[in-house]
Amino acid sequence: MDLFVLLFLESLLFGISLVFLIVEGIIPILAIIIGIILTSLLIVKHEPFNAFLQKAINRHKKLALSWGLVFVLALPFILHKNPYLIHMLFMSGLYAILATGLDFQVGSTHLVNFATAADYGIGAYTAALLSVNFGWSFWVVLPISGLASALFGFLLGLPTMKTKTYYLSLVTIAVGLIIYILLNNLSWTGGPNGISGIPFPSIGSFSLGSSLHVFGIELPFQANFYYLVLAVLFIEFIVARRLYNSNIGLAWNAIRDDEIAAGCQGINVTESKIMAFYTNAFFDGLAGAIYAFNVSFISPENFAFMLSVIVVTMVIIGGMGNTSGVILGAIIMTLIPEKFQVVQSYRLWLFAVVILVMLIARPKGLFPQKTRQYS
C-alpha cells in the first residue's frame, strides 16, 4: 500500500513538472506554483501523513530513486519536438553543478564565496583555448579545465584565510571582478569579442552536435549535452554525499558552527577551508568547459558577477548543506525566471528580494540539512 502511494505521488509530481515545462502564460504558471506550495504545506502540516510518507521513502528508497531516474532520462524523448526546453533542462543541470559545488563552501563551511563566475570562466576559457588553438579533444581538456579552476580556487583560498564573514565575501567579489576585467582586456582571451569556433565534442565518429536517433525518435543535439551534464551532476552528487559523510564533511560542519572550537578539537581549519575552495572550483571548471563546448562561443559577458549572485541564491533557496535540496533549488531558480520573461529586466531585483525573504522567513532553505544519523 505504501509503495503504491509513494509511486503515485512521485508520478503526480513528475506530471506536474512536465506540465509546468510545457505550459505558457503567467496565470497558468502561477496557478501551478501556488498549487505546489499549498500541497507541500498541507503535507508538512499533516503529521500522520508526513510520517507515513517518510516511512515509505525509507523503506522503498531504491525503487523511488529508480523511478525518478527513469523520468529524468525520459524527458528528452517526451520533449524531443521542443529543443529549447531540452536546452533549459541542460542549463538547469549546469547551474545545479555550480550550486552543488558552492554548497561545499556556503552550506558546509559557511564561506560565502562570490567568485563562482570566475571559476566557471577559467574552466570555460581553458577548454576553449586548448581546443581552438591546439586542437585538443574535449575529453582531454575537460579534466584539465577542472584542475585549472581548482588551482585558481587554491590560490584564492590562501589570502582569504586572513578574512572572515562579510570581509571574505568582499574579497571574493573583488577577485571575481578582476577576472572579468582581465578576460575583457587580455588579447589572448579575445577581449570583449571572446572565443568562437569551439568544436562540438565527439565520441568516435559521432559528434554531440548531431541529432541522436533512439527507438525511432530523433532527439535534437541538445539532448546529448543534457545527458552529459546529467552524468557529471551524478558524479558530483556521489562525491558530495561521500564528503558529507566523511571526516572532511564533519570538519567543514564543525568550522561552520564554531571555528574556534573546531581548531581547539584538532581540526586544521586553514587546510579544511582551502579544500572547500578548490573542491568547489574544480566542479565549476568542469561546468565551464561543458558550457563552452555546448554554445561554441564564449565571451566575458557569460561570466559576469550576476552569475555568482544567481548561484548563491540557488544554494540559499534549496537548503544549505543539503545536496538534494541545492539541486532542486538550482532547477527552480533556473526555470521559474525563464517562465516569467516579463521580469527579465528586473532579474537582479528579483533575486535580491528572494534572498531577503528566504533569510527572514526560512533561513535554512526550502529543504534544510537533515540531522546526521548514526547507527
Domain boundaries, the chain: 1-78, 82-361
pLDDT at 349 over 70: yes
- What is the mean pLDDT of the segment spanning 280-296? 95
- What is the mean pLDDT of the segment spanning 92-106? 93
Beta strands 206-207 and 202-203 are antiparallel
Write out the E strands in the chain. Answer: 195-196, 202-203, 206-207, 212-214, 217-219, 297-298
More confident residue, 47 or 287: 287
More confident residue, 374 or 16: 16
| pTM, two decimal places | 0.91
Of 69-83, 88-102, 210-224, which has the strongest mean pLDDT?
Answer: 88-102
- What is the mean pLDDT of the segment spanning 258-266? 86
- What is the mean pLDDT of the segment spanning 241-261? 88
- What is the mean pLDDT of the segment spanning 218-223? 90
First to last CA, the chain: 28
pLDDT at 181 over 90: yes
Which residues sit opposite 298 in a β-bridge? 195
pLDDT at 259 over 90: no
pLDDT at 283 over 80: yes
pLDDT of residue 375: 52
DSSP 203: E
pLDDT 10s digits, 292-325: 999 999 999 999 988 998 898 888 888 888 888 8
> CATH number of the domain at 82-361, out of 1.10.1060, 1.10.3470, 3.40.50, 1.10.10?
1.10.3470
pLDDT 10s digits, 52-82: 777 777 787 788 888 888 888 989 999 988 8
pLDDT at 90 over 90: yes
pLDDT of residue 67: 85
pLDDT at 101 over 60: yes
HEC secondary structure over the chain = CHHHHHHHHHHHHHHHHHHHHHCCCHHHHHHHHHHHHHHHHHHHHCHHHHHHHHHHHHHCHHHHHHHHHHHHHHHHHHCCCCHHHHHHHHHHHHHHHHHHHHHHHHCCCCCCCCCHHHHHHHHHHHHHHHHHHHCCCHHHHHHHHHHHHHHHHHHHHHHHCCCCHHHHHHHHHHHHHHHHHHHHHCHHHCHHHCEECCCCCEECCEECCCCEEECCEEECCHHHHHHHHHHHHHHHHHHHHHHHCCHHHHHHHHHHHCHHHHHHCCCCHHHHHHHHHHHHHHHHHHHHHHHHHHHCEECHHHHCHHHHHHHHHHHHHHCCCCHHHHHHHHHHHHHHHHHCHHHHHHHHHHHHHHHHHHHHHCCCCCCCCCCCCCC
pLDDT of residue 286: 96
- What is the mean pLDDT of the segment spanning 121-133? 95
Cα 42 to the chain's mean position, in Å?
Answer: 28
| Residue 164 to residues 26, 85, 194, 249, 299, Cα–Cα distance (Å) | 42, 41, 35, 20, 32
- Give percent of the chain above pLDDT 70: 93
pLDDT at 171 over 60: yes
> Letter for the amino acid at 364?
K
> Letter for the amino acid at 285?
G
